[in-house]
A and B are shown apart, each in its own frame.
Chain A
Amino acid sequence: MNDMRIVERDVESSETKIAARKVQVYYGDNHAIKDVDVDIADKTVTAFIGPSGCGKSTFLRCLNRMNDTIDICRVEGDILIDGEDIYDKRIDPVQLRAKVGMVFQKPNPFPKSIYDNVAYGPKIHGLARNKADLDQIVENALRRGAIWDEVKDRLDAPGTGLSGGQQQRLCIARAVATEPEVLLMDEPCSALDPIATAQVEELIDELKQNYSVVIVTHSMQQAARVSQKTAFFHLGNLVEYGETGQIFTNPVDPRTESYITGRIG
């Protein structure tokens, strides 16, 4: 099947962007992530796959401390971004989230204009010195989100009035507008139709020129299409992590093989 094709890919950069060591996450008494060790390389697309409830989204949200908003959630172990422990007391989660952007499962544009949606991040981080600057940032972000041509004539229209696929690309544009170094995507295509999905995937491929992209997905085809490295999670454990081609064609662990061939999950 064409969907399952494994494209030739070279992992250009082997420089580690994110290093996780012995990460444990607890929701109250529930041990959701067990002993995860993973190195995520810069300027690559890393896919997290696994059955529902395996902890891949939880782990993703640990990378920019979005789990801080959940009272009962507790994270142990070290997660280093550029060698800095992001759970260190001196780290301000607000600065961290400016550096590690996030796109959510459900498109969630602010109920404001398209322009304001994208301009909000740069505004609160003081990235623009004046209006012209901000306009330029917004335009660049929308271009990188591959949605500029569709919305350039109606930047004042509400972001919530766009179609699902457009909304998600707007959210991606919003995330890249703050110039992050890492982009986390939590099932960005689960609410989209195949055409919108293809557009977003194309976009992800372009984004990897500048960012380290981590994508959680339920679709193994998608993981195979867009990622260079794949991590398979199962019941809170990181079962296998490696080159996407190797994971899909020659998995080491029998559980990985069962999952990608459709026997579990």
Chain B
Amino acid sequence: MSDAAMDTSGAAPQPTKSLMTEDARTKKRNASERRFRYYGIAAIGTGLFFLIALLTAILTAGIPAFRQAVVEIPFTMTQEQYDEAEAAMLKTGIYTGYFIDGLSAEMKERGVDIEFDKAAVDRLLGKVGGQLRAYYRDNEDQLGQPIGFEVAASSRVDRYLKGTFTRGDLVEGNRFFMPEDFDLIDAMRDAGIVKQVFNWTFITGVDTGVDNPGGAGIGASVLGSFFMMLVVLVLALPIGVAASIYLEEFAPKNRFTDLIEVNISNLAAVPSIVFGILGLAVFIQFAHLPQSAPLVGGLVLTLMTLPTIIISTRASLKAVPPSIRDAALGVGASKMQAVFHHVLPLAAPGILTGTIIGLAQALGETAPLLLIGMVGFVARYPEALIDGFLEPNSAVPAQIYNWAARSDAVFTEKAWGGIIILLLFLITMNTIAVILRRRFERRW
């Protein structure tokens, strides 16, 4: 008060310089601030560019794995034809004949005339006779009725139509594909009986051998990953949260707990393949758990995820203001009541986020799985729930690795498709983490 009053008593001080013009120092400072902002924008721009490039690459290479070329022709089988075929010795051969007749008739009707033999149909459409027979044996009531019969084209047809396999790519002497087959594909396309459908086999199917890359699916390995995540969640969450609560709220602060803390932080940085070797030595060679089983994979990934969960849980416990603990203790709550009634609920969103991020990390992990044998060829689904844990299985990233290592370009395409599936899972999990965080976050 008094100082301000004194100032006004003298003459008004002359302004030394105008505030309208920047002096040299201010100019420099503003320039460096502007520069820093540009660095930031450039950094984010670079990041975004690579992200977009990556996503574009994955999507363009992976989306074809979700599409499948099928040949659909209207088809009618009479009771007599059916009886005749069923009475014959080589039943599927006769069914193939029926199909070829139907196919050429349909193409002629649509104005395309081309000669082809049974071997060409075998090469392009697989064992159509068997499929046709299986269909009518299951649906005898359809005999005599016109149906639209759909048959999946082989992977090479698929790739030729998608443009990733051209006449120039064909190697001389390939017994799976002849040069004249290109003409037949062109003819079928011109006739308009080839169409693209969503490839459910890729989602629900199991791995196939090199002779049938088109039929390979990721379903079994998704299930393998699912069972592993179940093991990780059931083990890592309670162990991790219990360890963090003890360390953060109850443990005395001494050298020993300091040592534990440092080691937990170090464990988070241990390369995952080391956990794989550990799992191989402890769970398989010592404890004799079944090889390649999701149970063992889950145990290894639990070890790997624990430090992540412990670190994030401790961070969120630390973030709960001490005044809440004081308040609880002040009304006579025991230490445990204070933690479980007040601190833990407030830390829950952070714990959940950390857990889900840990799980997502575990889901994408391949290296430890290589060592415990979860990269094998798995061509069937587990039959019972317990088999899901104990039967050999693969995991999504291991399956991707497996496919990427095979020479056939169709498998490469499937590998990209698998990456899309994996990314979808990761995005879903991270979205759940964000939603849980928003939902349970409480302000104080």
Contacts and interface: CB of A to CB of B under 8 A. Distances in A.
Nearest to B334: A94
Nearest to B320: A111
B87 to A, nearest CB: 80
A111 B442 contact: yes
Contacts of B325: 69
Interface in A172-193: 174-175, 177-178
Contact of B332 (A69, A95, A109, A110): A95
Interface in B287-341: 321, 323-334, 337, 341
B27 to A, nearest CB: 44
B342 A104 contact: no
A124 B337 contact: yes
B253 A101 contact: no
Contacts of A69: 325-326, 329
Nearest to B249: A69
Q: Which has the most chain A C-beta neighbours within 10 Å: B327, B443, B444?
A: B327
B252 interface: yes
Contacts of B326: 66, 69, 102, 104, 108
By DSSP majority rule, is chain B's interface helix, strand, loop, or mixed? Answer: helix
Contacts of A259: none
Interface string A190-211: 0000000000000000000000
A120 B330 contact: no
Given A71-B252, A71-B253, A111-B442, A66 B333 contact: no
Contacts of A94: 332-334
A125 B346 contact: no
Given A104-B323, A111-B443, A160-B443, A178 B329 contact: no
**Top 5 A-B residue pairs of the complex, sorted by shortest distance between their CB atoms:** A98-B332, A121-B331, A108-B323, A102-B330, A97-B332
Interface of A: 64, 66, 69, 71, 94-95, 97-98, 101-104, 106, 108-111, 120-121, 124-125, 160, 171, 174-175, 177-178
Given A98-B332, A108-B323, 13 more contacts: A69-B325, A98-B331, A101-B332, A102-B330, A108-B326, A111-B324, A120-B331, A120-B333, A124-B332, A124-B337, A160-B443, A160-B444, A177-B331
Interface of B: 252-253, 321, 323-334, 337, 341-342, 346, 442-444
